[in-house]
Amino acid sequence: MADYYEVLGVDRNASEEEIKKAYRKMSRKYHPDIAGPEFEDKFKEVNSAYEVLSDTEKRRMYDQGVDPNNPNAGGFSGSAGFDMGDIFGQFFGQGFGASQGPVPRTQPGRDSLANVTIDLKTAIFGGTAHVDIRTMALCPDCKGSGSAGGAPTTCPDCQGRGFVQKVVRTMIGQMMSSAPCERCEGHGTIIENPCPSCMGHGRVRSKRNVGVSIPAGIHDDTRLRLASQGEVGECGGTAGDLYIDVRVEPDKTFVRDGDDLHCWIEVPMSWAVLGHDFELDTFDGKRSIDIPAGTQQDDTVTVDGLGVTKLRSTKGERGDIIAHIVVHIPTKLTDDERDLIERFAAQHDNGAAHKVASQSRPGKSTGKPKGFFGKLKDALS
């Protein structure tokens, strides 16, 4: 029995979120469209592991020693490396053990994986992104039948059964053995005139552009599922799903924190002292921000309701914009400017220089804090 925990690289006590995260990482790593067709078996193994470990009941069965993907794997047939039903079926014919029959030509398609990058505005309001994918699509010439003309015909060797039987002499007498028909490869039918475009497979590799609906409030590194948009199966089989990994590119002005947007506004010291109005470019247009008189370095001003749309919100609620104030202290002054600052500091900072802070801010040293213009004098000295 395969060790599904080892396949996904997680502990046996891993949480659902850890298993989901590991699956996304491994599926991206081994997906044939990204890693190459030689990793197809490994990709299937990863999917099998996730199918079991992501389901509570299947995981419980697996932890008890039963593989839900192969219930016989934990019993006698699995430990011995063969299935007793297959063995008896080979000797005694179709009626004993598992039933046999033609293998359908139509097979379901695999899932596909693609990446798309969006800007922060699209993440806030939602929208449509477009991504080019190259995958297997329905053959436009034969419409998935695999035949250039006419329907497949019944195989004359197996009479449509998909397998043939023959008598085998053994030490205990004559036995009946069955095996897949070589002529039709177990399908029971033969395509006399295969489609030259798809060579009888009913599908061809094609490039197409897919529109992806981006929900408002989506987070970076989110995976979206587009049902039946993946790879078309053999001979027109149902398509797999298309998974889209969404990346949100960094914005030049805003930094996202949950549903809030943070930005940093540099203002002259006169604005901080006297107060001022400032026009901020937001994703909803320009908004006036009131910088109150006496604003200190690292103070914040909040603009309500102009942040990120809350994911799955039914009323379109949004977070806030939090503007951090950065006071710009000039490093060069004229003699007149310096004289004004020194006269103001003499009246304003003398008392403040001897006050002891009641509590220290994180990352700030305690002691006797200097007034705003005391800091300015230090910067200029």
The CA distance from 105 to 311, in Å, is: 43
Q: How many helices (H) and strands (E) does the chain have?
A: 11, 15
Give the C-alpha distances (Å, rounded to integers) separating 366 from 292, 313, 360, 361: 26, 44, 6, 8
Quickly count: other Cβ atoms within 10 Å of residue 308's Cβ. 25
195 annotated binding-site participant: yes
Helices in 64-119 by DSSP H: which ranges?
76-80, 84-92
CA distances from 132 to 100, 240, 248 (A): 42, 17, 18
**Distance (Å) of CA 97 to CA 14, 86, 93, 100, 308:** 39, 7, 9, 9, 60
Six-digit token string for 176: 């009946």
Do the beta carbons of residue 202 and residue 219 sit within 8 Å?
no
Residue 263 marked ligand-binding: no
- Annotated ligand binding at 235? The verdict is no
Residue corresponding to tokens 């009323």: 315
Q: How far apart are CA 185 and CA 187, in angstroms?
A: 6
Both tokens of 193, joined, read 């005139």
155 known member of a binding site? yes
DSSP state of 250: P
Structure tokens at 362: 């994180």
**For 44, phi and psi rounded to 5 degrees?**
-65, -40
- For residue 256, list its beta bridge partners: 261
User: Which tokens is 246 given?
Assistant: 């969404």
154 CB neighbour count, 10 Å cutoff: 14
**In what order do the strands lie in the sheet containing 255-257?**
255-257, 260-268, 321-328, 300-303
* Helix, coil or strand: residue 45: helix
Binding-site sequence positions for Zn(2+): 139, 142, 155, 158, 181, 184, 195, 198
Binding-site sequence positions: 139, 142, 155, 158, 181, 184, 195, 198
